[in-house]
Amino acid sequence: MQKNPMTPEGAARLREELIHLKSVERPAVIQAIGTAREHGDLSENAEYHAAREKQSFIEGRIKEIEDKLARAEVIDVSKLAGGDRVQFGATVKVSNTDTGEEFAYRILGADEADLAKGTISVTSPLARSLIGKQVGDEVKVRMPGGDRTYEVLDITFG
């Protein structure tokens, strides 16, 4: 069973979503299916089919979250803080050696990654190449747009 690394905050968000799905969404869709059934012929009942489709999505998402939480390896980043190497939870400032552009990314679990918020998955090509590196190290990363080389400028925690 492959572990799913995440921060305590990420695990809490998944648990909150699971509770919401089970206590609010699931009962609401069951109610909607019941109401749609009362309208008669199910073969031509769009409300019934839409409710069944939504129920299928909700049940699938519940299973997905339960699996992620079962495989969760909750890592308290505050206890990792320190050190001079890139690791899970670190914010890494890098520079593209070809363009000089600088970027900062926080390395988190796959469920917490959001490039728009400056977080990347620990399983992404960039994060995998940065893990274990120190300030001044260069990494070559195979990206969808071609190979890129980055220099590690700074590593912070917290």
Q: Residue 18: its pLDDT value, please?
A: 96
Q: Residue 20: its pLDDT value, please?
A: 97
Q: Residue 16: its pLDDT value, please?
A: 97
Residue pair 111/68 in contact (Cβ under 8 Å)? The answer is yes
Residue-level pLDDT, tens digit, the chain, 158 residues: 688 899 899 999 999 999 999 999 999 999 999 998 888 777 778 889 999 999 999 999 999 999 999 999 998 877 766 678 898 989 999 999 989 899 999 999 988 999 899 999 998 999 999 999 999 999 999 888 889 999 999 998 86
Q: Going by C-beta distance under 8 Å and a sequence separation of 6 or more, which residues neighbour residue 107?
A: 86, 87, 88, 89, 90, 91, 92, 119, 120, 121, 122, 127, 130, 131
CATH topology of domain 77-157: Chitinase A; domain 3 (3.10.50)
Assigned token pair, 122: 């620990």
Q: Name the nearest CA neighbour of 18 among 53, 66, 73.
A: 66
Q: Residue 41: its pLDDT value, please?
A: 76
For 4-74, CATH number? 1.10.287.180
Q: Residue 82: its pLDDT value, please?
A: 63
DSSP β-ladder status, 4-6 and 72-74? parallel
Domain ranges of the chain: 4-74, 77-157
